[in-house]
Structure 1
Amino acid sequence: MAVDPTASSGGTSATSSGSATLAGHQALASNFDTFLSLLTTQLKNQDPLSPLDSTQFTQQLVQMSGVEQQLLTNDLLQSLVNTAGRGIADAVSLIGKEVRAVSDDATIQNGKATWAYKQDRDASAVKVEVLDSTGRVVHAENITDTAAGEHSFTWNGTDLTGKQLSDGGTYTLRVTAVDGNANTVPTTTYIDGPVTAVEQSDGQTLITVSGTKVVWDKVTKIATAGDGSTSSSSSTTDNTNNSTDTQTSSSTAA
């Protein structure tokens, strides 16, 4: 009988702890450290004559794990919502505009594909290779202009056997530049063109630039349609097409 008051006290303590847990639900949901502190305090101050049984302790651990998972899930969802919301709004505003985006990929349109690339410094030799989706080289050539700065490269869409490849295929440009000491010269590859579509895929906002899908935050330059500031971009105007044809002929001759 002497133990009964102690046991009753232990039960009251557990009940008070449960009430405190419910009352502080919002705090626990936003702060996992607070929940862990409460659990640790409960374990330290439990009645030694009536300790927390294994079932209750397991439930507490499960609850702790659940709160932690909830916090991680909430953070992830909030991140996705923020990213998707901003991404879609910003990306949609690009439709119809000429942009430059960091991308090694370009799509064959009207029998050719065009890239721009930037060399950080002068090189002694520059080689460009076009790869298909399997990583197979379908075109390769040496570039005579090895100076630092921006360059444009247009591929006429024919493979190593001279076969004309179909429009709509996406290919990757690999630029290899080395200096006189055989050290690699860093390069960055871009594509230019009008934005024609926006979509969400695997949590990312993609824009379509000259037929190629690019993550929207890879955009480095924006201009209104017809603005000459994206001079290397693909366009539907006759003047730009004529200029691109000339570039293609020059690259092929090289």
Structure 2
Amino acid sequence: MSVSGVAANTPATGTEATAGTRTRLAENFDTFLTLLTSQLRNQDPLSPMDSTQFTQQMVQMTGVEQQLLTNDLLNKLVANSNSGISTAVSLIGKDVRAVTDTTALKGGKSEWFYELDREAAEVKFEVIDANGKTVASKTVTGGDDIAAGEHKFAWDGKDITGRALPDGGQYKLRVTTKDTTGAAVPVSIYIQGLVAGVEQADGQTMLTINGAKVPWGQVASIYEPKPATPPPTGSGGSTQTASDDESGDTLINPAG
């Protein structure tokens, strides 16, 4: 049995059909303009052609293009419905971990989590602003920060010259690693924080985490926020709350 024969009979999805229609429309429109130009250039000046027909054809072509734009809008609306924004709203106030290297500078600091697949010999951190400029850099060659597993990287919001940068800026963390042989060590980067808002942007459900906009699909874990630690009671005593993970939050939707 020929596999290609089965694939040939598979109906195209709405996106594929729209893309194919757009390609054909562009080709037909280019051909139409070429023919129109040639006919206008070579027409008999004593018996000029009726321009009404050309106008009607252009109106029809424009109508098809507008219909395609309407289809795109409908596809976005369907995607928004399927993404379940009502479900995403329920995350507001939850502690969420997302797979992204971008966060915002808030309260004069930013922090990321990074996970090394194996022990590294050197780990270099670079904080990059929205313009692609490296504003801070640090290299680690020893200690717990290069061991296999998960670690936290905190930035104090100061650039290379020691100047404190204003809050609200979006920054990306780039982590470059290598082992004793010079080979790169696989690394994953996350951010974690409370979800402060949910919105729709260009057909995607976006969560606001630590001031950064993160697509819903990049959420890796959802936690119940840890309760506030009560103030010390008695003479020098304090109350500690047991936690289910190192952040003190209770994992309610582990990734994987």
With the shorter chain as reference, the TM-score category is 0.5 to 0.7
**1:135 is aligned to 2:99:** no
Mapping of 1:98-137 within 5 angstroms?
98-137=95-134
**1:184 is aligned to 2:184:** yes
Identity of aligned residues (%): 46
Structure 1 residues 189 and 229: CA distance shift in structure 2, 3 A: farther
Q: Which residue of 1 aligns with 2:86?
A: 89
For residues 171 and 74 of structure 1, the distance between their equivalents in structure 2, rounded to whole angstroms, comes to 36
Q: How far is the alpha carbon of 1:90 from its aligned partner?
A: 2.5
- Structure with greater Cα Rg: 1
For residues 204 and 233 of structure 1, the distance between their equivalents in structure 2, rounded to whole angstroms, comes to 31
Gaps of 5+ in 2: 1-59, 228-242, 250-256
* SS of match in other structure, 1:122: coil
Q: How far is the alpha carbon of 1:78 from its aligned partner?
A: 5.9
Which stretches of structure 1, 4 residues or longer, exceed 2 Å deviation after superposition?
A: 72-83, 227-234
Q: How far is the alpha carbon of 1:82 from its aligned partner?
A: 3.5
* SS of match in other structure, 2:165: coil
Q: Which residue of 1 aligns with 2:160?
A: 160
Gaps of 5+ in 1: 1-62, 235-254
Contact kept? 1:116, 1:232, Cα under 8 Å: no
Amino acid at match of 1:202: D
Contact kept? 1:100, 1:193, Cα under 8 Å: yes
Q: Which residue of 2 aligns with 1:206?
A: 206
Aligned length, in residue pairs: 181
For residues 229 and 74 of structure 1, the distance between their equivalents in structure 2, rounded to whole angstroms, comes to 49
Q: Deviations for 1:104-150, whole angstroms, at most 9, x for unmatched residues?
A: 11111111001001112221110000011111111111123211111
Q: Which residue of 2 aligns with 1:169?
A: 169
Contact kept? 1:101, 1:191, Cα under 8 Å: yes
Amino acid at match of 1:146: I
